[in-house]
Amino acid sequence: MRPTYRFLINPAAGLRFFKHTLDLIYREFDGHPVLTEVCVLRGPGEAGRLAHEAAVLGLDAVVVVGGDGTINEAAAGLLGLGSDEGPSGLAGSRTRLGLVPHGTGNGFARGLGIPLDPLQACEVLKAGAERRIDVGLVRAGGAERCFVNLLGVGMDAWVARAANRLRPLGKVSGLLRYAAAGAMSLTGFRPSLVRACWEEGQIAKRTYLLALANTEQYGMQARIAPGADPSDGRFDLVWVGPQPLWSLAASLPSLFKGRRLGIAEYGQATSLRLESGDGSLMPYHVDGEPAGDLPIDVSLLKGRLRVIVPAPR
């Protein structure tokens, strides 16, 4: 039986991109042993539903043509989040996650070394090399979400929320929306006390930024956690306290040079609880998508996601 790849494409990227990508997929996989199904996403939640369906049917792969937010939704579907199976029900599923990156930051793809060029990404899919990736499971108020790349608390979550509110501007690119939201955060976001409890103890600190990184990438080549390994069974923690603007600005080059931030503290954990230490609202995001406010409980699902990646050299 020939393997089947189900492609999930978001046409919101634009008609020209959509047609080009569709033509590329059919051309590259014409005559290839892999069968292709192309699904056009028409709204929130559909990527998760179609990915879950693919896992239940035993398809070989779900391929996301999109950015980190759509990848997150598809990964949740493959894990069975929001379904009767729950996060452990599809542990034995053979359905893999593939990527043709088309987002603003493409942090997950960059963190796994997946080419951003669609043609090269298709070559990776055809080769079919695989890597098992850890997944973060987030519980909040009885609901469950996941993250495959990064969970952030504080400033970056505030920026993600502000950028999301700018979506109605339509034609404004994702990069410009995030730039505008970042500028707004200089006056709109205020660090507050965050309490964290994990296997090695607990701590309470005023927090500008707290990142739980699975890969080293924020996106756009900004490495928030240099050396983070998404298969090592640990989250990399990056904690930044309140800083003057000049200190934050001076630290930016380190993000793009793959060096640790001098203003940050680093550690590792496999599970932790995060809550506001002073009762104020502290936002968090999963893979760049606003997800709510603390408190949350985070645990790690070791090697739960199978991802198609470039073959090792």
CATH number, position 53: 3.40.50.10330
Q: For position 190, what pLDDT does the model report?
A: 83
- On whether both 126 and 161 belong to a single domain, the answer is no
Name the strand (E) or helix (H) holding 247: helix 245-257
Cα-based angle 156, 158, 162 (whole degrees, multiple of 5): 115
**Structural domain contains residue 157:** yes
3: confidence class by pLDDT, cuts 50, 70, 90: confident
- On whether both 167 and 257 belong to a single domain, the answer is yes
What b/e sequence results for 168-205 when a residue is b if at least 16 CB atoms lie within 10 Å of its CB, and e otherwise? eeeeeebeebbebbbebbeeebebbebbbbbeeeeeeb
**Structural domain contains residue 142:** no
Q: pLDDT tens digit string along 281-309?
A: 899 999 989 999 999 999 999 999 999 99
* Residue-range definition of the domain harbouring residue 104: 4-135+304-308
- On whether both 166 and 286 belong to a single domain, the answer is yes
- On whether both 91 and 170 belong to a single domain, the answer is no
Q: For position 120, what pLDDT does the model report?
A: 96
> Exposed (0-12), middle (13-18) or buried (19+): which is 79, by Cβ within 10 Å?
buried
**Structural domain contains residue 62:** yes
- On whether both 49 and 112 belong to a single domain, the answer is yes
**Structural domain contains residue 252:** yes
CA dist 30 and 25 (Å) reads 8
**Structural domain contains residue 145:** no
**Structural domain contains residue 234:** yes
Whole-number mean pLDDT of the chain?
Answer: 87
Q: pLDDT tens digit string along 121-159?
A: 999 999 999 999 999 999 998 899 999 999 999 888 887
- On whether both 61 and 175 belong to a single domain, the answer is no
**CATH code of the domain covering residue 285:** 2.60.200.40
Q: Tokens for 129?
A: 């090399």
181: confidence class by pLDDT, cuts 50, 70, 90: very low
Q: Which residues contact 128 (CB under 8 A, 6 or more apart)?
A: 308
Q: For position 272, what pLDDT does the model report?
A: 95
Q: Which residues contact 35 (CB under 8 A, 6 or more apart)?
A: 2, 3, 4, 5
- On whether both 203 and 246 belong to a single domain, the answer is yes
Percentage of the chain modeled with pLDDT above 70: 86
Q: pLDDT tens digit string along 188-244?
A: 678 899 999 988 788 899 999 999 999 999 888 889 999 999 999 999 999 999 988
Number of domains present in the structure of the chain: 2
DSSP code of 204? E
Q: Which residues pair with 223 in a beta bridge?
A: 217
What b/e sequence results for 7-46 when a residue is b if at least 16 CB atoms lie within 10 Å of its CB, and e otherwise? bbbbeebeeebbeebbebbeebbeeeebebeebebeeeeb
Q: Tokens for 292?
A: 């709510």
- On whether both 192 and 169 belong to a single domain, the answer is yes
- On whether both 131 and 155 belong to a single domain, the answer is no
Q: Which residues pair with 212 in a beta bridge?
A: 151, 237
176 pLDDT exceeds 90? no
- On whether both 39 and 77 belong to a single domain, the answer is yes
Average pLDDT of the residues in 253-279: 92
- On whether both 199 and 249 belong to a single domain, the answer is yes
CA dist 100 and 105 (Å) reads 13
**Structural domain contains residue 143:** no
31 pLDDT exceeds 90? no
Average pLDDT of the residues in 86-102: 76
- On whether both 124 and 154 belong to a single domain, the answer is no
